[in-house]
Structure 1
Amino acid sequence: MLELAIAVALIALNGVFALSELAVVSARKSRLRSMAEARRSGAAAALTLAEEPGRFLSTVQIGITLIGILSGVVSGAALGDRLADILTEAGLTRSLADTLGYGLVIAVITYLSVIVGELVPKHLALRDPEGVACLVAPGMRLVSRAAMPAVWLLDASTRAVFRLIGQETESASAVTQEEIRALVAEAETAGVIETGERKMIAGVLRLGDRAVRGVMTPRTEVHWIDLGRDEAEIRALLLDSPHSVLPVIDGNPDDVVGVVQVRRLIGPLASGAPLDLRQHVHAAPVVPDTIDALEALERLQAAPVPMALVHDEYGHFDGVVTPADILDAIAGAFHSEAAEPEAVQRADGSWLIAGWMPVDEMADQLGLRLEASRAYETAAGLIIHALQRIPETGETCEIAGWRFEVVDLDGRRVDKILATRLAEEAV
């Protein structure tokens, strides 16, 4: 039964190569680097193989090909003949015994090769690709060195073919935000992270793609103090203001001279002493409306006051951005800051959406895919962009399988939008 033992051993060895191939290819390099830094045995070798996929895959292919050839020789020439002899002794004709013998051996060997030599090892590799890669990498590296000439020839030939078709052997794909979001969603489903954590991670990922216009408090909603008012009016505004920092203008809203921190004025206001507001004005960073929210956050971190003034390319004052605006973009609006929710799902499945809702958050909520480069930041901006004009109450537009209806206007501002999925409406 030596031939049978050899055939089983070859199938098991094929399984080792299949296991190694999928484990190293599926292993995340970031985890392998962390394991190598932690001095995990075999991690450095696994990382080396993962960073040279051409050489590694050539090694695996050489091993699997040789095993396939040897398995065919052993099963056909040895096991097939033995089984044919047994069937002949059982009374079958020699031709029929040869046919059945070779057929049965090939069927059994093929079955075992698929199950033991491929499927089971690959399932094991997918369970813990990094751990399995660390386990098999030292052996695979030795095989690669032993078969160096053949490995070099196959790797060079593969690269030559790729060059002929104008392609590169190295993968051009990098980790995308979609892949990160999918991974985070999978972690949420598995209970590794909470739903709130997943939402905040999504908010952080959006910061780099969102212009500062999308997180700032727009000029129409900014409360400011005009130096041209008399002292009594200024005192009343400071005492009634719910904000801790206020912009200060000098007559013209586009002439913002700085900001005041209300808490530092509590003493003069309480004592009734004369108030010279100019002495309490602090310079605030001025940022263009073209930078992204992450860069605005960096400016705020370096600023002496927790507020930045946003201006457009013509020098007009557009609004202000504060750390609270950045937190709002990450964690969502607080009830004390938002008089109404951004989006409410109704019983029929439609959504009542506030016009000021950030359009990327709305897209995540509805499952929309927006263009990467866009000139609008809110749900209202999406409607105006689609219609190419300021809409009237009751106007509708269809975008990516949804019908958006303007249900309320506040002057010229789109205040409320009703979003209905077209497929549901058709049903």
Structure 2
Amino acid sequence: MLLEIAIVIGLTLINGLLAMSELAVVSARPARLKAAADRGSRGTEVAVRLAGEPGRFLSTVQIGITLVGVLSGAFSGATLGIRLSHVLQAQGLGQTLADGLGVGLVVVVITYLSLIVGELVPKQIALRNAEAMAARVAPAMLFISRVAAPLVWFLDVSGKLVLGLLGQRGEAGERVTEEEVRTIIAEAKSAGVLETAEHDMISGVMRFADRTARALMTPRREVEILDLSESMDAMRAQIRQCRRARLPARDGEADDIIGAVLVRDLIEAFAREEAPDLRAFVRPAPVVIDTAKALDVLKRLRESTLHMAIVFDEYGHFEGIVTSGDILESITGEFQDEDDTDEPAFVRRAEGSYLVAGWMPIDEAGDMLGLPVDKDPAYETMAGLVLSELNRLPETGEVFDYRGWRIEVIDLDGRRIDKLLVSRLPPSPS
């Protein structure tokens, strides 16, 4: 009887090993496995091979689990149950009752051990350190797959045939999505692996890649432009008061931007002579369309020594400029200038609402405030969201509801939406 109990316990442990192997290899991150394999870990190399052939691996595991289940059931019912029944009969119970209790008690105990020792505990161990466990169990699983190669091949082919009938042909889709990366970053911050500033910068990099030139640019109404058609005295006064390192230059018309000038060049020119030809100091600047991807804009800026790109729309209208500083601010956040009077993008108020600037990028509002935002909205800022929802210029004090939030227009600066009050609506009573 002791031998039979030992056999059942051994089968339960083997079942646990198989369950742990299955979950460890399936949930292990391929990037971590490949990195460990590159460092010369033999077990990890085998785990990479198993993960690359999920059909064969799962067939191997299922063969083992099925075989263990059959043997465990045979021993628990046919041997241990009968022996326990004899013990109960010796204690004075009737045969029918003793047989029922004997088999029932053995099944309950074996089922409990199978759930705890054979399933739950091994799977929790696998989840806690999937890559390490996958490296440890992979050689044994490879050995089993080779021993049972014909049956593994048959099950693998059968599984693929059924998948084909269900329309599931081809390889699995991408394993890592952008949302999963964001979740991992958030978990790293919660666990203390990433500092808050590091988390914000990584999130900024991911937002940057999804933006367009229009989201990055300084809009034309905020751009200081050197108009070469003005008088020499007016341009000299503008250069004397300018705090920018470079300025876009136009020649008369509002959309006739012909390039950019370095302010230091103009200062030196005015110091040498009374009326220099400022057109000679205009340098060509890269031109991008307002819908260009942020990464494409960054590439154009890297190729230019001017570190400024001129943004036009599809009709040839000047829309604004993008500088290397705009790129940096989109990742790290706004920098305060000496003459900068803008308030922060948002301020959380005591009652839980937010005072939000109209220029706040909509993707930042989604990340920082939890505001629901479409995947590829047709606007770039909170002001754009208001205009998109209302389809007109709002009035001061106008209020509307948006996907569980209430948005109130607090202040208008001419035709520009300057300040918004954003608050979460209370849950509707069920």
Structure 1 and Structure 2 fold alike (TM over 0.5): yes
The corresponding residue for 1:335 is 336
Secondary structure of the residue aligned to 1:182 is helix
Offset from partner CA, 1:69-102 (integer Å, 9 cap, x none)? 0001111122112222222222222222222211
Contact (CA 8 Å) 1:207, 1:292: kept in 2 or not? no
* Offset, 1:8: 0.8
CA shift at 1:391, angstroms?
1.3
What secondary structure does 1:254 align onto? coil
Shift in alpha-carbon separation, 1:209–1:139, aligned structure 2, 3 A:
same
Cross-structure match for 2:227: 226
Identify which of 364, 367, 387 aligns with 2:367. 364
Tell me the TM-score normalised to structure 1 length: 0.96
Secondary structure, aligned partner of 2:82: helix
Q: Structure 1 pair 89/378, CA: closer, same or farther in 2 (3 Å)?
A: same
Cα distance, 1:414 vs structure 2: 0.7
Distance 1:210 1:329 in 2: 9
Aligned to 2:91: 90
User: 1:175-186 alignment to 2 at 5 Å?
Assistant: 175-186=176-187
1:15 and 2:13 aligned:
no
Q: Using the TM superposition, name which of 96-105 and 241-250 deviates more.
A: 96-105
2:396 is equivalent to residue 393 of structure 1: yes
Displacement of 1:226 after TM fit? Answer: 0.7
Return the letter of the residue paired with 2:173: A
Match of 1:100 in 2: 101
Report the CA distance between 1:187 and its aligned residue. 0.3
Contact kept, 8 Å, 2:310 with 2:322, in 1: the verdict is: yes
Alpha carbons of structure 1 residues 282 and 131: separation in structure 2 relative to 1, 3 Å: same
Q: Give 1:267 deviation, angstroms.
A: 3.1
Please give the per-residue CA displacement for 1:197-241, whole angstroms capped at 9, x wherever unaligned: 111111111122211101100111100101112222212211211
Contact 1:344–1:352 (CA under 8 A) maintained in structure 2: yes
CA distance in 1, matches of 2:407, 2:276: 51
Asked whether the equivalents of residues 248 and 281 of structure 1 are also in contact (C-alpha less than 8 Å), the reply is: yes
Q: Aligned letter for 2:406?
A: R
2:156 paired with 1:155 = yes
What residue identity is the alignment partner of 1:53? P
Q: How many residues align?
A: 426
> One-letter code of the match for 1:57?
L
Equivalent in the alignment of 2:316: 315
**Matched residue of 2:83: which SS?**
helix
Worse overlay, 257-266 or 166-175:
166-175
Query: Residues of 1 paired with 2:422 and 2:292: CA distance?
Result: 30
Residues 371-382 of structure 1: pairs in structure 2 closer than 5 A: 371-382=374-385
CA contact (8 A) 1:258 1:282 kept: yes
Match of 1:325 in 2: 326
Q: Is this contact kept in 2: 1:20–1:133, CA < 8 A?
A: yes
Runs of 4+ in structure 1 deviating by more than 6 angstroms, as ranges, are: none
How big is each residue's C-alpha offset from its partner over 1:10-35, in whole Å with a ceiling of 9 and x where there is no partner? Answer: 00000110010000010000111111
Shift of 1:266: 3.9
In the alignment, the residues of structure 2 paired with residue 412 and residue 424 of structure 1 have an alpha-carbon distance, to the nearest angstrom, of 34
Contact preservation (8 Å) 1:159, 1:169: no
Return the alpha-carbon distance in structure 1 between the equivalents of residues 127 and 248 of structure 2.
57
Which range moved further: 82-91 or 277-286?
82-91
Letter of the aligned partner of 1:317 in structure 2?
A: F
Alignment partner, residue 35 of structure 1: 36
For 1:110, give the aligned amino acid: T
What are the ranges of 5 or more consecutive residues in structure 1 without an aligned counterpart?
A: none
- Name the CA distance, whole Å, in 1 between partners of 2:146 and 2:286: 60
One-letter amino acid matched to 1:324? G
SS in 2 for 1:321: strand
Greater alpha carbon shift after TM alignment, 407-416 vs 371-380: 371-380
Residue 243 (structure 1) aligns with: 244
Q: Which residue number corresponds to residue 415 of structure 1? A: 418
Q: 1:19-59: CA deviations, max 9, x gaps? A: 10000010000111111111113111101111111111111
Amino acid at match of 2:105: L
Letter in 2 for 1:11: T
Tell me how far apart the structure 2 counterparts of residues 109 and 174 of structure 1 sit (CA, whole Å): 37
CA distance in 2, matches of 1:257, 1:225: 11
Between 1:361-370 and 1:320-329, the stretch displaced more is: 361-370
Deviation at 1:424, TM superposition (A): 7.2
Aligned-residue offset at 1:173 = 4.5
Which residue of structure 2 lines up, in the alignment, with residue 135 of structure 1?
Answer: 136
Between the aligned partners of 2:200 and 2:334, the Cα distance in structure 1 is 13
Shift of 1:185: 0.6
C-alpha distance 338-323 of structure 1, shift in aligned 2 (>3 A): farther
Q: Give the corresponding residue for 1:353.
A: 356
CA distance in 1, matches of 2:227, 2:80: 98
The 1:165/1:425 distance shift into structure 2, 3 A limit, reads closer
Answer yes or no: is the 8 Å Cα contact 1:354–1:379 preserved in 2. Answer: yes
Query: What are the Cα deviations for residues 155-175 of structure 1, in whole angstroms up to 9, with x where unaligned?
Result: 222222222222247432532
SS at 1:408's partner residue?
A: strand
C-alpha spacing 1:169/1:274, structure 2 compared with 1 (3 Å): closer
- CA distance in 1 between partners of 2:353 and 2:101 (Å): 66
SS in structure 2 opposite 1:404? strand
Gap change, CA 1:349 and 1:79, over 3 Å in 2: same
C-alpha separation in 2, matches of 1:296 and 1:169: 36
Q: 2:210 aligns to what SS in structure 1?
A: coil
CA displacement at 1:273 relative to structure 2: 5.3
User: Which amino acid in the other structure matches residue 420 of structure 1?
Assistant: S
Give the secondary-structure state (helix, strand or coil) at the position aligned to 2:42: coil
The 1-side partners of 2:144 and 2:416 are apart by 70
* Rounded Cα–Cα distance in structure 1 between residues aligned with 2:356 and 2:306: 33
SS of 1:415 mapped into structure 2 = strand
Q: SS of 2:408's equivalent?
A: strand
